[in-house]
A and B are shown apart, each in its own frame.
Chain A
Amino acid sequence: MQVPDGLLYTQDHEWLRVEGDEAVVGITAYAATELGDIVFVEMPALGARFEPAQSFGVIESVKTASDLYAPAGGEIIAINEALHDKPELVNNDPYGEGWMIRIKLATGAGAPDGLMEAPAYRALIEAA
């Protein structure tokens, strides 16, 4: 299962890529596979603010629905509009075209606290 280096991960299987004082968020390939065929992603509004670990949306597959949790606190500055018509992008390219939100980090530039690096996340999903 693909777990790219350079990203940060949560226990809940979201990933976060820091770009200066902004970050891009999505779910991992492992999560996308576990969910199965993803059919809908409910997105937050632009400008909404979230605390770390707060639910920012919902992801639905054919048989299940899960909350999406913010890996870090911040303000939504972009959402991936393409997922509205093509939710399958999350299955096909979870770390690329399947990204979900871009946030302005509340903590400013740099990696937020409390997240895993790729090796730790790999260990987590191997143990599951």
Chain B
Amino acid sequence: MTATIERPEQETAQVPGPRQVVGPGLQPTLDELSRPGRATTKVPHAPADALERIPPDHRRAAPLGLPELNEPEVIRHFVNLSQLNYSVDTGFYPLGSCTMKYNPKINEWAARLPGFAALHPLAPDAVAQGTLELMWELEQWLAEISGMKAVTLQPAAGAHGELTGILMIRAYHMARGDHERTEVIVPDSSHGTNPATASMAGFRTVTVKSTSEGQVDLAALSAALGPHTAAVMLTNPSTLGLFERQIVELLDAVHAAGALAYMDGANMNAILGKFRPGAAGFDVMHFNTHKTFSTPHGGGGPGAGPVAVNEKLVPFLPWPRVFRDGDAYRLEKPGERPSSIGRVRSYQGSTGVLVRAYAYLLAHGGEGLVEVSEDAVLAANYLRHRLSDTFEMPFAQVSKHEFVASAARLKDETGVRMLDIAKRLIDKGFHPPTIYFPLTVEECMLVEPTETESVETLDAFADALIEVAREAHDDPELVKSAPHDSPVRRLDEATAARQPDLRWRAMSGRETPCPG
């Protein structure tokens, strides 16, 4: 059924919009569903005089214009919307650099235990012992995995962890009276967050190229290093899914120049128990719990980005830290450590996310985590092997948990681009891999299968990609116009950006009193 939603006359026409056709299975917006007077009572009605003591000039002048729905409509609206999404729970999601592994259900249960979920963030330490113990223990485990000295759980995401780490590096140089270090070096294959973080922290970004083998160019890095270098940010394994074979030499060069080495830990899923960054010489790194430790991606977040540091940076960790005194746990007091960079957020961290990460780590233990990485790397190499006759594999080296493949040849032969291949995969029932990243490989896809996918799933995905490549030769238009079987087809992104429509029309509230 194709419903035409006729938009009611607009009282305050802020967003003039044409009539919109809502396609089959698509949903009206909340304002279109709203019918004045509908509601389900959820909290007691407030006394009529509740606001009389509030001076009138502080009160809302016009009644609040929000949608009015009853509970069944609310549920149906959001459940129907949920079904327009692709997700890990519904299918294979090989989105490179995002580690879309299965999200264990016990973790969801654990985070919702009232003891965790209802704890106020400013609750005194005495009534927060369970969560503090969990945080302390999680810090110890992450220190072991990273080979570092100490950990902060505060950062809310990977990029937030990067900012935390780079600000600590800044504070470290300043504390030594070394004020000339104004540059951060990143490889050309780095995540965009790395240079953006460096800018936010007040550094100039210097980009060094990679070799044709997809490795950081040691000579180029050495040439770029100098008395102005504050830090080098490396992703290892790199965004190309390759381990930096010259990591020892790279780290030596960084330290010889007096700079510190930051590791973007986005790709830790490949190397748990195989490479401990701190033990190898990195000074600081972040984890992405929503990648490596299975905390759900939530449609874009929340994540958590714990940061691990070596001895040098411990004094600069954000406060408050979590300490154990005998059998009791406590938060660091204000002013206890003046060298700290300070807070990077409100309260102590995204604890609800950290409970899930804790449960994940404890379910696996040390041996299980090593096996996670082994299976993740095995899956990636197997899939790479399955696709190597169909797509170019620009790098000969064994891949880690993800690999880059290029469709440049297919594009030359058929005119079909990687974007088209990705869209056609949707018709075949798969979420496409990351495409056009890293920026250094033409017509590329970055494929990350993760360890929780069976060999049958990997085979089905490989078969689908091979079939799309065949279709590109036989019927390129079919691929170029894909997807055909999704709730909506390709979108007009140019108009969306040229005339941004970022909200539904303003609703005006009604002067009627609250019901009841």
Contact = CB atoms under 8 A, between A and B. Distances in A.
A88 B492 CA distance: 14
Contacts, number: 15
Nearest to A88: B498
Contacts of A37: 493-494, 497
A39 B497 CA distance: 6
Interface in B441-460: none
A4 B450 CA distance: 53
A87 B498 CA distance: 7
A30 interface: no
Contacts of A87: 498
Interface string A17-53: 0000000000000000000010110000000000000
A60 interface: yes
A62 interface: yes
B263 to A, nearest CB: 28
A87 B499 CA distance: 10
A87 B494 CA distance: 10
Contacts of B494: 37, 39, 62, 88
B238 to A, nearest CB: 23
Contacts of B498: 39-40, 87-88
A88 B495 CA distance: 10
The DSSP consensus for interface residues of chain B is helix
Interface in A73-105: 87-88
Contacts of B493: 37, 62
Contacts of B497: 37, 39-40, 60, 62
Contacts of A40: 497-498
Interface in B475-516: 493-494, 497-498
A103 B498 CA distance: 26
Nearest to A62: B493
A112 to B, nearest CB: 29
B212 to A, nearest CB: 20
A31 to B, nearest CB: 17
A5 B396 CA distance: 47
Nearest to A36: B494
A88 B497 CA distance: 11
A40 B498 CA distance: 7
A40 to B, nearest CB: 7
A62 B490 CA distance: 14
A88 B498 CA distance: 8
Nearest to A91: B494
Nearest to A39: B497
Contacts of A39: 494, 497-498
A16 B493 CA distance: 30
A62 B498 CA distance: 9
A87 to B, nearest CB: 6
A87 B493 CA distance: 14
A87 B497 CA distance: 10
A73 B168 CA distance: 41
A61 B493 CA distance: 10
A62 B491 CA distance: 12
B142 to A, nearest CB: 36
A107 to B, nearest CB: 30
A60 B497 CA distance: 9
Contacts of A88: 494, 498
B442 to A, nearest CB: 13
In the complex, which of the residues A60, A62, A87, A88 has the most CB atoms of chain B within 10 Å of its own CB atom?
A62
A16 B99 CA distance: 48
Interface string B144-164: 000000000000000000000
A60 B493 CA distance: 13
A37 B493 CA distance: 9
A40 B499 CA distance: 10
A62 B497 CA distance: 7
A40 B493 CA distance: 13
B411 to A, nearest CB: 16
A19 to B, nearest CB: 30
Interface in B50-78: none
A26 to B, nearest CB: 18
Contacts of A62: 493-494, 497
A39 B493 CA distance: 9
A88 B493 CA distance: 13
Contacts of A60: 497
A60 B500 CA distance: 14
B187 to A, nearest CB: 20
A28 B497 CA distance: 22
A40 B495 CA distance: 11
B298 to A, nearest CB: 25
Of all A-B residue pairs in the complex, the 4 with the closest CB atoms, nearest first, are A37-B494, A39-B497, A62-B493, A39-B498
15 contacts: A37-B493, A37-B494, A37-B497, A39-B494, A39-B497, A39-B498, A40-B497, A40-B498, A60-B497, A62-B493, A62-B494, A62-B497, A87-B498, A88-B494, A88-B498
Interface of B: 493-494, 497-498
Given A37-B497, A88-B494, 13 more contacts: A37-B493, A37-B494, A39-B494, A39-B497, A39-B498, A40-B497, A40-B498, A60-B497, A62-B493, A62-B494, A62-B497, A87-B498, A88-B498
